[in-house]
A and B are shown apart, each in its own frame.
Chain A
């Protein structure tokens, strides 16, 4: 019985540590996906002159996960509120993207981009997309660094904490 209890404590603490460690990985992965989304958006706008809703639909189909969830929310909002600004839909999408544990700086950059999307010529749209992409690349480098620093730490820390609890109990 004692052995089962000890195993459960170790497992629970270990899993908690691994979950925190995993969150660093997924944060970096999600930022990378957003960078890809911006590259695809730039292609759709700059070369194909695709209208934003259609561009969002195409990109959403290519990038599952956070980007799909975000763009689906944008499209749902646009569909449900015809006549509203695209920026309103983008803002609604960011609400859902917030649940994917992205840093506030990334969400802020995307908020600023949403206000500029679709309201000017191709040249200007490209500039906005490129600036946001550069900022997201910075955020990705930082997230990658955090991931490398903290991943191992949290992976072991959970099990170490479990061990400490066992030592204190027994």
Chain B
């Protein structure tokens, strides 16, 4: 991943313990922050964990150079992603971009003067869904529609990826609607992370359009998608349920009760038969609860 950083930042991070890092935060003239399993810490110019005052402070040139490498010197090619606030790079890593918005008719046209980058490192964890497979795919004969709930950074996407892989390996036709290219991390048409041998990936499709294409053309038995929560998602998920397609999806939240209180949940929740709540209590991907939504528990 670090080949996408400005040379100086790359050296610092390569000198540290990069296998532990989940997130790198670069802010102009502010301490260089990384997030590991134990939380956030600061890195010195030599890549050592140090107090805040001794940390390396990325320069505007560091960020400009990093953006240039991330976009392959082609800002225009990532315009839509930048407008949405992030871009996904080969390997499935997501880079949040913060800067000055240029507006056109009240809408963000582009971003200039990038002031910070938040890089979330994607990592496949094969087998992380092992403990949930008996609940989601009982006896291997059917798949229960499941909603994975957790705050950001608790492993929702990693879990969905492994569920897609394992369900696909059990012979189900799976379609991944990968709006942000984070589940399969497609790059030039090829999935960089294993999502199974019988999985089709609709890369970059908005959910509603992805559902229409999947149902019309790909005859899926299971659809996997990340981060639902848009008002239109309810109709798209209901369309899948009507077609007899099972859904594995994720959303942000601390608990099922919190999710139920949201406006979009009224249409979306009836689609699901199971809810899985994750946390970071014992590291990312800690399963807190597996709830059956059929009986309303």
Interface residues of A (CB under 8 A from B): 45, 49-53, 78, 82-83, 85-86, 117-122, 124-125
Contacts and interface: CB of A to CB of B under 8 A. Distances in A.
Contacts of B72: 51-53
Contact of B76 (A45, A78, A85): A45
Contacts of B255: none
B75 A85 contact: no
B110 A118 contact: no
A125 B73 CA distance: 12
A51 B110 contact: no
B75 A119 contact: yes
Main secondary structure of the interface of A (DSSP, over half): loop
Given A82-B3, A83-B6, A83-B7, A120 B75 contact: yes
B-side interface size class:
10 to 19
A121 B76 contact: yes
A50 B77 contact: yes
Nearest to A85: B68
A30 B74 CA distance: 26
B3 to A, nearest CB: 7
B170 to A, nearest CB: 38
B109 interface: yes
7 contacts: A51-B72, A83-B69, A85-B73, A118-B75, A119-B73, A120-B75, A124-B76
A119 B71 CA distance: 9
B74 A52 contact: yes
B145 to A, nearest CB: 36
Sorted from nearest, which 4 A-B pairs have the closest CB atoms?
A: A86-B73, A51-B74, A118-B73, A51-B72
Interface string B73-104: 11111010000000000000000000000000
B110 A53 contact: no
B135 interface: no
B246 to A, nearest CB: 35
Given A83-B65, A121-B109, A49 B76 contact: yes
Contact of A51 (B6, B7, B73): B73
Contacts of B79: 49, 121-122
Contacts of A52: 72-74
A125 B75 CA distance: 10
Contacts of B71: 51, 118
A118 B67 CA distance: 11
Interface in B16-59: none
Contacts of B109: 121
Nearest to A87: B73
A78 B8 CA distance: 18
